[in-house]
Amino acid sequence: PPADRYEAENATISQGVVESNHAGFSGTGFVNADNVAGSHVEFTVPAAAAGGRTLRIRYANGTTTNRPMAVAVNGATVATRDYTGTGAWTTWVTDTLTVPLTAGSNTIRLTATTAGGCPNLDYIEVA
Ligand code: GCU
């Protein structure tokens, strides 16, 4: 995998479990967050310098209901995205946005904002 990939199964999980029963994921599994608002996954990401970075979030949502998540960097929400249904739990897609990082260590937290919880999360990449 690319050096800038951070697997969700290695991140800090609040209200969720690592599973591997839906094929197509990278690494050893994915995170199935609990179906509750507030469930989240937090990644620690280093940056050599401050500035905007491209963030890719790979996920699957086998339902037909959006699973919106707040994207927070170092504790501040920088975006809230919808994470629409992907057609199947085995269909993984990538959402791309730009996030501001500071020099040094950053946290990137993805938090469910509705009762459905997060979509299943495979990894993030920071480019
Ligand atoms: C199913 C599916 C899980 C998913 C869950 C959900 O149980 O197998 O991978 O996380 O639905 O609705 O969140």
For residue range 107-120, what is the model confidence (pLDDT) as tens digits? 999 999 999 999 99
State how far the Cα of 40 lies from the Cα of 37, in Å rounded to an integer: 9
For residue range 29-46, what is the model confidence (pLDDT) as tens digits? 999 999 999 999 999 999
ipTM above 0.90?
Answer: yes
The two structure tokens encoding residue 115:
């009762």
Summary mean pLDDT of the chain? 97
Could you tell me if the CB of 83 is within 6 A of ligand 1? no
Ligand 1 atom at minimum distance from 63 CA? 12
**Residue 1, pLDDT above cutoff 80:** no
The answer to whether the CB of 33 falls within 8 A of the CB of 39 is yes
- pTM (2 decimals)? 0.97
How far, in Å, from the CA of 32 to the mean position of ligand 1?
7
**Residue 80, pLDDT above cutoff 80:** yes
State the CATH class of domain 5-126: mainly beta
First to last CA, the chain: 13
State how far the Cα of 79 lies from the Cα of 125, in Å rounded to an integer: 16
Q: Average of pLDDT values for 82-111?
A: 98
**If you take atom 7 of ligand 1, which residue's CA is the nearest one?**
32
